[in-house]
A and B are shown apart, each in its own frame.
Chain A
Amino acid sequence: MTDLSLSNKAIAGKTAPPSEARALRLPTQWLGVAPFFIFAVMFLILPTLYLMLGAFQNEAGEFTLENIAALSEPNIVAAYWISIKVSLASALIGAFAGLAIAIAIVRGGLPDWIRSATLTFSGVASNFAGVPLAFAFLATLGRLGLATVLLNALFGLNIYAHGFNILSFWGLTLTYVYFQIPLMVVIIVPAIDGLKKEWGEAAATLGATTAQYWRMVVIPVIWPSFLGTVILLFANAFGAIATAYALTGSSLNIVPILLYAQIRGDVLHNAHLGYAIAFGMIVITGLANVFYIWFRTRSERWLK
């Protein structure tokens, strides 16, 4: 019986709901989404809040700003700095390379199978991260890697003698780019597809050259989704740890590895300093995502 009255209630709810009926209905209304909210609060929101509050407490549970202030210790600042540099470099390289590939496969007049093969491969490669990716790059650009050996044998170029090291800033950046480019391709191809043919025709009718069409139509339309994706790639690299840890052990001191060591063994000798590091990471990725959402809403205006 109650089931049958569903549509009536739904319709009644849309017009003018009597306040009494609404009050009675509310609990069952929320029952369907209750598991989701309980799950999200218990295992996503509360643990994060717990750390964020802990960042502002001392061991005795009193409010303090000392932990945040302690983030200015040289080794922690260095860790944040190198993390930001690696994330930014890999995001920018990944974004421009990904954009170039996306334009090439959508607008470059290449055969159709190349487009679909590239998109399929991008789906795979953007999810091929973590420990195995580090193994692949060690096998390629490690001291005994194929590329290292071949470059030395064919061109007499010993990249390690020239200061390259896979366990360094550039090594890590080059490795991260492997999942950054495909992610850019997957996200930006729909944006390039969204460029309407009519815009090109309209520009041509008005006498625009190809360069003008790109400069005054294409780039302004793609720009917001491009910037938004750069920020997404940045956040993506900033929180990643498995690849870096498997690649460099703890020889490259990026923030997630520092936090990892702190969780395992309290290397900083202050539990609440760990909270502060986590807080700093959330602030950085959080800010990045605020910008991402902002750019996203701007880009959606054009791509309807």
Chain B
Amino acid sequence: MKSGRFWAWVVFILGAAYFFIPLIATVEFSMRMRRGAYSFDAYQIVLGDARFQATFMYSVVAAIFTIILGVLVVVPAAYWIRLRLPQIRPVVEFITLLPLVIPAIVIVFGYIRMYGSNSPLPFLANDTATNALLVIGYATLSLPYMYRAVDTGLRTIDVRTLTEAAQILGAGWSTIITRVILPNVLIAVLSGAFLTFAIVIGEFTMASLLNRPAFGPYLQNIGANRAYEPAALAIIAFAITWGCMSLIQILSRFAPKSANRPN
């Protein structure tokens, strides 16, 4: 058992080295901009760059719309399947796994060919419609995570009883979903939302191929043209991912309490 613990430490330390050295190196590199001294110049330049602000805001807005669209598509379906159509669950689960099977680049290639300017649904004809198509594409990418999160949330509440109680009190379908079901799975929806945010914020492939001024293509562009700013951007991106995951962890601590509320 003694030697087992020794090897566990060896494995853990090797792993930690592999994961922390690139982070340390990136921090160090990002601060090397001024000759001979460490400074935050690269961060100042990046954060002060008008294109950084514009593309970052664009991606934040895209992420928010993605989350809203994802909730609108997933929550009613997951709820309805629990309540009335458990027999189609395997089909829906299969569909929600498809975005993990079909690479994003293939999905967006299909969009470009199917919804081109002279198709019946010309999503690429103007900027607003292309923005909408990007949000749709992002919602597709986040489908596996969103569905799983919401479905897990629904599993912890008694959907049927809640629905019938609400109906007895005279609630209609929209009231039931927005005022009874959604508040009960809010924690789950929010975890799905933060994961979606983390995925969407720096997404490159779809934004680039749809020619959108998003954060991912901006990152790539800076990477191809600058030396120290990319390292600063990598640290910022890592911090954003870290923030999203921490929020999910914090939320998950609240989840059981609100979900298993006694009658």
Task: Determine if chain A interacts with chain B.
Answer: yes
Residues of chain A at the chain B interface (Cβ within 8 Å): 3-4, 6-7, 10, 29-30, 32-33, 35-37, 39-40, 43-48, 50-51, 54, 97, 100-101, 103-105, 107-110, 114, 118, 120-121, 123-125, 127-128, 130-140, 144-147, 177-178, 181-182, 232, 235-236, 238-242, 245-246, 249, 256, 259-260, 263-264, 274-275, 278, 281-282, 285-286, 289
The residues of B that contact A100 with a CB separation of less than 8 Å are 11, 15
Docked CA distance A155–B74 (Å)? 55
Known A140-B22, A146-B24, A282-B101: A131·B204 in contact at CB below 8 Å = yes
The residues of B that contact A138 with a CB separation of less than 8 Å are 223, 230-231
Cβ-closest chain B residue relative to A130: B202
Q: B12, A181: Cβ atoms under 8 Å?
A: no
A53 CB → nearest B CB, Å: 11
Pairs of residues from A and B, 3 with the lowest C-beta to C-beta distance, nearest first: A108-B8, A47-B110, A239-B103
Say if the beta carbon of B107 comes within 8 Å of chain A.
yes
The residues of A that contact B163 with a CB separation of less than 8 Å are 6
The residues of B that contact A43 with a CB separation of less than 8 Å are 107, 111, 136-137, 139-140
A204 CB → nearest B CB, Å: 13
Q: Which of B99, B223, B244 contacts A135 (CB 8 A)?
A: B223
Please name 5 further chain A to chain B contacts, defined as beta carbons within 8 Å, in addition to the given A32-B80, A235-B100, sorted by A numbering: A3-B170, A33-B85, A43-B137, A131-B237, A135-B230
Cβ-closest chain A residue relative to B96: A40
Q: A50, B101: Cβ atoms under 8 Å?
A: no
Q: A139, B234: Cβ atoms under 8 Å?
A: yes
Say if the beta carbon of B245 comes within 8 Å of chain A.
yes
Docked CA distance A296–B43 (Å)? 45
Q: A146, B241: Cβ atoms under 8 Å?
A: no
Docked CA distance A147–B23 (Å)? 11
Docked CA distance A286–B80 (Å)? 29
Q: A104, B76: Cβ atoms under 8 Å?
A: no
Q: Which of A6, A107, A147, A235 contacts B167 (CB 8 A)?
A: A6
Known A108-B9, A110-B9, A181-B15: A51·B106 in contact at CB below 8 Å = yes
Q: B237, A134: Cβ atoms under 8 Å?
A: no
Between B88, B113, B170, the greatest number of chain A beta carbons within 10 A of the residue's beta carbon is seen for B113
Q: B7, A104: Cβ atoms under 8 Å?
A: yes
Say if the beta carbon of B129 comes within 8 Å of chain A.
no
Q: A139, B80: Cβ atoms under 8 Å?
A: no
Docked CA distance A128–B224 (Å)? 20
The residues of B that contact A123 with a CB separation of less than 8 Å are 245, 248-249
The residues of B that contact A48 with a CB separation of less than 8 Å are 98, 102, 106-107, 110
The residues of A that contact B160 with a CB separation of less than 8 Å are 10
Q: A282, B102: Cβ atoms under 8 Å?
A: yes
Among B26-34, B55-63, B255-263, the one that faces the other chain is B26-34
Docked CA distance A125–B84 (Å)? 39
Q: Which of A104, A140, A182, A278 contacts B25 (CB 8 A)?
A: A140
Say if the beta carbon of B254 comes within 8 Å of chain A.
no
The interface bits of chain B over 55-91 (1 if a CB of A lies within 8 angstroms of the residue's CB, else 0) are 0000000000000000011101101110111001000
Q: A137, B12: Cβ atoms under 8 Å?
A: no
Say if the beta carbon of B220 comes within 8 Å of chain A.
yes
A243 CB → nearest B CB, Å: 9
Cβ-closest chain A residue relative to B24: A146
Q: Which of B30, B80, B98 contacts A44 (CB 8 A)?
A: B98
Cβ-closest chain B residue relative to A240: B103
